[in-house]
Structure 1
Amino acid sequence: MRRSLLSSPIEIAIAIAAGVSCLLVMSVASIPTASKCIDGEREVLLKFKQTIHGKLSSWDSHNDCCDWKGVGCDNFTGHVVKIDLSGMYLSTKVRHTSIPFIELSYLKYLDLSSNYNLLENQTISSLMENNNNSNSNSNSNSMVSLQHLSLSQIGIIGSIPENFGNRLPALTHLDLSMNGLEGSIPEIFGNNMPALAHLYLWGNSLEGAIPHSLFNVSALYLAWNKFTDLNSLCDIRAAAALRILDISFNQLSGTLPDCWSNLPSLAFLNLANNHNLSGSLPTSIGLLASLEGLHLDHNNFTGTLPSSMENCSSLVVLHLGHNKLLGPIPDWVGENLTPLTVLVLGSNHFNASVPTSLCRLRSLQLLDLSVNHISGTLPDCLANLTGMTVHEPHPNATISYGGVSQGDAIDIVWKGRVIQLQTTLGLIKSIDLSSNMLSGEIPTEITSLDGLVSLNLSRNNLRGPIPPRIDNLSNLETLDLSHNHLSGSIPRSLSLIHRMSFLNVSNNNLSGKIPDGTQLHSFDASTYTGNLGLCGDPLPNSCRREPTHPNIEEADKFFCHDFYASMGVGYAVGFLGVIVNMLFIGSYRFAYFKLLDDFANWAYVVAAIHKAKFVRILGG
């Protein structure tokens, strides 16, 4: 009988293992390694290089285009999927040239931003026409894979054509900011790109109404344009998914529409610096429960804060400065808006006192109530603002909203001038209560906020001394206490704040000498002017010459030292004379006790003389 080829289990197992190994080897061999650039796509890139000036020396026809600077390829297919030439100072050699990248049908990412003269004075329409007239085999949907398109700051002008998005069905990110675009946005613009999530059109000259189709994106940046109408917000039929809306620095006017319930997912709203927006704040803003950042500053809003805003309990940044809002600051600001990190209500008409409820804002890092009509005393509970201590740093310098990274910006008075904080906003801890009608003393509790970088209490009616433990504010860089009624001397502890580079205590009732040998002398004389009783460097008026006598304790030591030294010397001399005379002259023995009496009288006289000297020293 013929023996089976695989007669035992061991042989069968070995055969199976060998077969599996063979299949694995064949499978691995069939997987392509990093493929080289496809010839046709290399030619498209080289055609682009021929039309521009710039740093593209690596774009050599003899090299694999997947290794060229700014070019990325798919590791398996070799197709060009990414081109990033941003900030390379590219410019065109030929006017009205096209961008041939539209022929790269697998391209997913294209960034040509910050090449200021790349497409100077060309319109979007002309680019599309040139591309359509090219000799390529492209069709109207040749960029169906493109997801990210950034053409910011490349010099394009003209209007946005209605068919712009027809060839970009997969686009999620579009940046046309900082160009010369003008005219209105086509009503169907947003509908042409159903996947669009982030749209940047800021820094152009676009005008007219804002199409309601744009509210379907997640982040919409329209700042620095000429838009005049926001009423299309009320035309939204379905709840939009918009998270970020920035229409600041435009020409919006009139009252705000009262239909903010159409944007229930809104996390950041910026309508600042429109100047002609007026009227009361609409109550529907209180329906934005997801709102984390609200900027309505630099407008003409009037009236009181609507009570519905207490429902905006997710707010992190609230900036209502530079309006005409009035009334007391509501208690619900501190009671309900507890996540607040930035609260700016400055340059309005708020009155009454600083509500103690604000002390509940333990995350607060920037408080600005300046230029209002706030009166009363500073609350002692300011020490509860633990977000302004060194133990509570903000995790990030910038602040994000709703999971979307968003660089926020706030104007503050810094070292006597207005600056804008943006990249460092989350790192600044500041209190500005200047230009109000606050009275009473500066509470010592404020010195527990040792993370403060800026403190401005100027132009109020504060009285009393500068807190003696002011040096607890060791991180302070700018301190302004000017134009108050503070009295007493400048505490030497103020000189222990080594980071302080701006100080202003002018126009108070301070007196005495500016502490010697400290950094306080390095400030300009204007820091101290307007304090009639203040003297010493750097002020021109020197202090009245004072005697250099020591203090009471030092004078007492001086008196005792002289007295006992004189008494010791006198006693030694007298005692030596007595001993010698007693040894050699017998009659002197009888005068011994008389000598002791004379010595006692002498010691008393010496003591009286030194006591009189001591009194004269103290009397100056």
Structure 2
Amino acid sequence: MLILSRSHYNKIMMVFLIMFLLSIPSQTLAVNVALSSETDKIALLALKDKLTNGDPHALPSWNESLHFCEWQGVTCSRRHMRVSSLQLQNQYWGGTFAPSLGNLTFLKEINFTNINLHGEILGEVGRLKRLKILDLRNNNLGGHIPVEMINCSSLEVIILMYNNLTGKVPSWFGSMVQLTQLGLAANGFVGKIPPSLGNLSSLEKLSFLQNHMEGSITPALGRLSNLKFLSLSGNNFSGLFPPSVYNLSNIQTFYLAGNQLAGNLLSNIPLAFPNLQTFACGRNQFTGIFPSSISNLSELQFFDIAENDFHGPISPNLGSLHKLWRFNVGLNRFGSGSTHDLDFLSSLKNCTQLQKLGFYHNSLGGVLTDLIGNLSSNLVWLAMGSNQISGRIPEGIGKLVNLASLDMELNFLQGTIPDSIGKLKNLGVLWLDGNKFYGNIPLVIGNLTMLFDVDLSSNKFEGLIPFTLGYCTNMQKFAAWGNNISGNIPNQTFGYQQGLIELFLYSNSFTGPIPSDFGNLNHLSILDLQDNKLIGEIPMRLSACTALTVLVLEGNSFHGSIPSFLGSLLSLEVLDLSNNNFSSSIPHQLVNLTLLKTLNLSFNHLSGEVPVGGVFNNITAISLTGNKNLCGGIPQLNLPACPVFPLQKKHKRSLKRRVILFIVFGGILISCVAFISIYLLKKKAKKLPTTSLALQYRYVKVSYGELHQATNGFSSSNLVGTGSFGSVYRGTLVHFERPVAVKVLKLQTSGASKSFMVECNALGKIKHRNLVNILTCCSSVDYKGNDFKAIVFEFMPNGNLEALLHNTIEDSVSTNLSFNLMQRVNIALDVAFALDYLHNDSEKVVVHCDIKPSNVLLDDEVVAHLGDFGLARLIHGAASSSSSGQATSSTIKGTIGYLPPEYGAGGSVSPQGDMYSYGILLLEMLTGKKPTDTIFGEGLSLHKFCKMAIPEGITEIVDSRLLVPFDEGERKITPQNIKECLVSFARIGVACSEEFPSQRMNIKDVIMELQAIKQKLLH
């Protein structure tokens, strides 16, 4: 018997196999390949239908005109022409897995990231035994990980993060020994880390970030010798940190934050993890001191150990960490309040990549020195709040030009805010509250146009809210409570901040009314103005603040009725109007506030019936103490019953008779009143000119009643200015499309009636672009029968020049708040054009006699209009006429500081007198100082002050806003160019305000000089 060796046997069998294969027709093999390809195609089409929810427009390339290997996202193996890779990303189909996916048995990679998948991962995935990469991140998948996946023994990468998967992490993951990445972050996994994961010796990345896992960290993780990335943050892990984890010598990124881990962690970190780049263990319960050996981690970039219980000094040897960009040790117990606690800052100056630095909420003492300016110019976040740091804010802070967030709250810092802070153009968050800062809030805050969260509370700031704050149009939260800031709350400063959500100005010394422009704050949620000295009524425009949840006006001097529109602010949860002077009844509309949890109306002068319903039914939610004349309400309030009128007790028939009698006698009474009224009006009309002013100048007639309604009863909330002879109110009349200004004469003031006639005569006969346009006059009687006179003008939405210069009243200011030199030149030109018309181009020479900033009004395009002609004089003949054609000034009452010297000495009224006042106005625009400023006296006047400064000292006396370079169109106006133009501007003002009339500059020459300045700025 022939015995063959194994090698001979194998050769013979191979020959037989080859002969067998050669005997099979080639067409059969081709058919088998075609059948396999057809299976993949059918599987893909079924998958498409499920993934895209049957959307016919999705995956347009998946059609019969192309081979499926050319379809979008499909890759095939070259040898078998079978699907080996599916990559479909960043779509919004919202579909599900299809069981047909399991038929694509040659698949090695599935990448379905961010396609809004929902449903569960199907068990058919377990048939893909060749699968190496499974990436399903950023979807809405739910349920458990299917156990069938255990068959995918070739898997190297599993990324399921950012889904809604639940259950425990499968222990059978430990059998997938080829895994290099396992990403399960941001799901709903529970339970402990399976110890079997310690078998994955090839694993390089492991993430359980943001799940609901708990228990201690398994020591088995210490066996993952190749691990470079480990994230356990955002779970409920507890217990001590296992020593075995220190064996992970290759680790580069280590996240432990947001757990309940304890123990002494830091001491071994530098030795155990020499390649460490990122280390974050914040929000745990770790203890221990800060090891100086941290400086040996030369690759360290991210170091965050905030919110633990570390203590002792912070190592001053951090300068070797050249790659460090985040260093956060906040909310620990570092420091001892000693002078050397901040020494570590000097070493950080060598960390030139540093972007985020936080050492807030510790016990660090010492003086903040200018070394802070030596930190990296890349720094964007600096947080040192809640320590014991003293000293001033150093000027060097201005070097940190990329700073976006600065937190210095709750320290012992003092002094004024340095102007260098205005260089931090990227600053969005500024927290300085709870220190001892004093002085004014600096004007340079307006340079910080990116600010959105500012807290200056609980300091010693004083002065006014800077008007420049209006530049900060991105503001969402502004808090300055607990200071001594005074003056009116600027009208348009906060009105520009239409994204404002929270405004806290309580416990200051603000005066005046609530700015009407608060009505622009559509997103305002919290407005707290309590404990100030505010007056007036709640403005109607506040009804536009429909997002208000908290409105606190307690402890002021507001008066009038509680407006019914508050009942339309349906988001209100807290309304506190206590300790004011509100009167009348409680508006029933407040019962509509279904979300209201607190209503405090205590200590006012309210009377009448307390409403029933809504918040008024909750005795614990309302406070009405200190209002003696209230009645009714729910029984628990223990208020007296409201009086019942007899009419309510009568029979219906009796009521009907009373109504009939009322109508009859009422008609007779009305007839009598009408007859008497006509008689009285005719009698009163004899005292007036035979032709009314309204008809004489062909204006629309308006009555007292219409003006009363237009101004909300001449409400203080509508008051925009006061003068010697009257008050000006904003209003709305049906005859005019735009708002109007109503000047109501104080007829009890001597000369007021004459002023009324003068102003109507003067403005009624002159028209010019730069004069205030009179719309109509009203000479009538008020509801009490008293004489009433008013003039109606165009309303100037940007207020007056005095507000723009001094920010002393609530009038609006320009929509471009920079108020640079070009804007002032334009305003000066506008006033000059008006004077040229009055003096030279009108039918009669008109001398205004009261040129001053408060009489220069600005329209919505910041064009200046000269107004208030109550002192004007009409002179017959040309402006250059002799004294015989001039008016005596014996009764002139101009304004101190602007009054020309000759008027005070009894001289005649002349155009040259207006030129003097105009010159003083120019110098006030130049310096920002009033002619009556306290620095002037004992021989020094505004005129001499400016004259002495020309030319070398001009930059020392001018308003600081004029020295800021600005853009005009595409041209950058340089400081040198500004200085030259300031000198020219000053020369004009000085030349116009010379002591003797004959020496003063002519208005036409003024116009030429100002136009020359304007051209120089433009070119």
Normalised by the shorter chain, which TM-score bucket? Answer: 0.5 to 0.7
Which of 374, 381, 396 is residue 357 of structure 1 equivalent to?
Answer: 396
Q: Distance in 2 between matches of 1:486 and 1:293?
A: 37
Give 1:331's aligned residue.
370
- The Cα shift of 1:154 comes to 5.2
Give 2:559's aligned residue.
541
Structure 2 CA distance for partners of 1:213 and 1:535, relative to 1, 3 Å: farther
Q: Given the two structures, how large is their TM-score scaled by the length of structure 1? A: 0.65
2:396 is paired with a residue of what secondary structure? Answer: helix
Give 1:451's aligned residue.
450
Which of 248, 257, 264 is residue 291 of structure 2 equivalent to?
Answer: 257
**After superposition, where does 1:118-267 map in structure 2 within 5 Å?**
118=166, 120-121=167-168, 124=171, 128=174, 143-144=177-178, 146-152=179-185, 153=187, 155-161=189-195, 164-169=197-202, 171-177=203-209, 178-186=211-219, 189-190=221-222, 192-194=224-226, 196-202=227-233, 203-209=235-241, 211-214=245-248, 216-231=250-265, 233-234=267-268, 237=271, 240-267=274-301
1:73-104: per-residue Cα shift (whole Å, max 9, x none)? xxxx9932222345544434xxxx98454543
Matched, 1:561 2:760: yes
Give 1:107's aligned residue.
155
> Is 148-157 or 535-544 further displaced after alignment?
535-544
**After superposition, where does 1:449-528 map in structure 2 within 5 Å?**
449-494=448-493, 495-516=495-516, 518-519=518-519, 526-528=527-529
Matched, 1:319 2:358: yes
The share of aligned pairs that are identical, in percent, is 23
Give 1:289's aligned residue.
322
- The Cα shift of 1:272 comes to 0.9
Q: Contact 1:113–1:154 (CA<8 Å) still a contact in 2?
A: no
> Match of 1:255, as an amino acid?
I
> Match of 1:176, as an amino acid?
F
2:352 is paired with a residue of what secondary structure? Answer: coil
Structure 2 CA distance for partners of 1:558 and 1:521, relative to 1, 3 Å: farther
Structure 2 CA distance for partners of 1:159 and 1:33, relative to 1, 3 Å: closer
> Match of 1:482, as an amino acid?
W
Q: Distance in 1 between matches of 2:893 and 2:318?
A: 80
- The Cα shift of 1:277 comes to 1.6
Give 1:279's aligned residue.
312
1:324 is paired with a residue of what secondary structure? Answer: coil
Q: Distance in 2 between matches of 1:85 and 1:533?
A: 60
Give 1:529's aligned residue.
530
Structure 2 CA distance for partners of 1:345 and 1:493, relative to 1, 3 Å: same
Q: Contact 1:212–1:233 (CA<8 Å) still a contact in 2?
A: no
- The Cα shift of 1:363 comes to 0.7
1:259 is paired with a residue of what secondary structure? Answer: helix
> Match of 2:97, as an amino acid?
L
- The Cα shift of 1:260 comes to 0.4
Q: Which runs of 4+ in 1 moved over 6 A?
A: 543-546, 563-566, 611-615
1:440 is paired with a residue of what secondary structure? Answer: strand
Give 2:645's aligned residue.
none
Which of 56, 71, 76 is residue 97 of structure 2 equivalent to?
Answer: 56
**After superposition, where does 1:401-440 map in structure 2 within 5 Å?**
429-440=428-439
Q: Distance in 2 between matches of 1:436 and 1:322?
A: 14
> Match of 1:354, as an amino acid?
I
2:366 is paired with a residue of what secondary structure? Answer: strand
Q: Distance in 1 between matches of 2:83 and 2:77?
A: 16
1:450 is paired with a residue of what secondary structure? Answer: coil
Structure 2 CA distance for partners of 1:551 and 1:280, relative to 1, 3 Å: farther
Structure 2 CA distance for partners of 1:89 and 1:438, relative to 1, 3 Å: same
Q: Contact 2:246–2:273 (CA<8 Å) still a contact in 1?
A: no
Give 2:143's aligned residue.
91
- The Cα shift of 1:268 comes to 0.6
Q: Distance in 1 between matches of 2:269 and 2:256?
A: 19
Q: Contact 2:129–2:154 (CA<8 Å) still a contact in 1?
A: no
- The Cα shift of 1:264 comes to 1.6
Matched, 1:81 2:129: no
Q: Distance in 1 between matches of 2:764 and 2:184?
A: 92
> Match of 1:242, as an amino acid?
L
Structure 2 CA distance for partners of 1:505 and 1:98, relative to 1, 3 Å: closer
Structure 2 CA distance for partners of 1:298 and 1:269, relative to 1, 3 Å: same
Matched, 1:378 2:417: yes
Q: Contact 1:294–1:318 (CA<8 Å) still a contact in 2?
A: yes
Give 1:403's aligned residue.
none
* RMSD of equivalent CA atoms: 4.0
Give 1:306's aligned residue.
343
Q: Distance in 1 between matches of 2:77 and 2:314?
A: 66
- The Cα shift of 1:347 comes to 1.3
Any stretches of 5+ residues in structure 2 without a counterpart? 1-75, 86-94, 114-127, 540-552, 561-714, 729-742, 746-751, 766-886, 896-1019
- The Cα shift of 1:356 comes to 1.2
- The Cα shift of 1:520 comes to 6.4
Q: Given the two structures, how large is their TM-score scaled by the length of structure 2? A: 0.41
Q: Contact 1:59–1:65 (CA<8 Å) still a contact in 2?
A: no
Q: Contact 2:358–2:383 (CA<8 Å) still a contact in 1?
A: yes
